[in-house]
Amino acid sequence: MIHDRPGAVPFVKGHGTGNDFVLLPDPQGRLALSPEVVAAICDRRTGVGADGVLRVVPSHLDPDGAAHADEARWFMDYRNADGSLAEMCGNGARVFGRYLVDALLAPAGEIRIGTRSGVRRLVVPPSGDVSVDMGAVAFPGPDGVGVSVGGRVWEAVAVDVGNPHAVAFVDDLADAGRLLDPPVVTPPGAFPDGVNVEFVVVRGPAHVAFRVFERGVGETWSCGTGACAVFAAARRRTPADGAGEWTVDVPGGRLRLRETAEGTVELTGPAVLVAEGELRPDWPGSR
């Protein structure tokens, strides 16, 4: 990592199945991230480019992480590409864990991190795939949710994975079109804080694939919480497939999911660090 330019902000770029992030190490808890700064960093033409920003900060130095400081040394301050706060990100959590081990901030093995959805347990080997216990999945309603794209409407199920999802099963992933704009979700007001929308096809026993439109981001190559929501919705739809490991395909690769003995969902997949550098002190987005 380069540290010799006064005022520069170091960063690391990483991804999990194509869901990419800019990680900002903040060991002193001094970085002030406005929505405008985050959006500038994530801009794919004029910034670094990413689906979101992960600020790596000691839990006790962040107001949202302080409550978990006794259990988790590090807090994952996750922001969507538009600068909005997000409760949780499964792909981001795996990349976050890989960074902690790579930067020697935590030993390989089991790591607990703080998130806005609570403490999450990671298993980060010295190399290879990373697992994260995503907690319990709930079906909070409301009933009668619908998802519409280009005049086509599908029934959907509301799923909570620490953040909200609307999961719709379709005949073909192409049915969702280009997903340039947010799908219309009904009834109005069902998700007052916005919602991630997944379009799912069944590939075979314990095997599904999906596309996702993430709130505050747009269509992404992958969504970890979305994979958990899809896994839970598919299992409820096809209980005969049992409680074993499921394969979930996304445009950016493949994830593996299973229900733990405690009734939580474990998400496993790649977490890759690809580059490191600095945000220049004279660039508006780094201030």
Return the active site residues: 89, 223
Task: Give SS3 for 163.
Answer: coil
Is the peptide bond prior to 182 cis by the omega test (within 30 degrees of 0)?
no
Phi, psi of 60 (to 5 degrees): -70, -10
Q: What tokens appear for 175 in the block?
A: 């049915």
| Residues in CB range of 82: below 8 A, 6 or more apart | 35, 38, 39, 42, 216, 217
Nearest residue to 223 via CA among 171, 174, 177, 166:
166
Closest by CA position to 97, among listed 211, 196, 21 = 21
Q: Are 217 and 163 in contact (CB under 8 A)?
A: no
Q: Return all residues near 192 (Cβ < 8 A) that are at least 6 apart.
A: none
Alpha-carbon gap, residue 98 to 125, rounded angstroms: 9
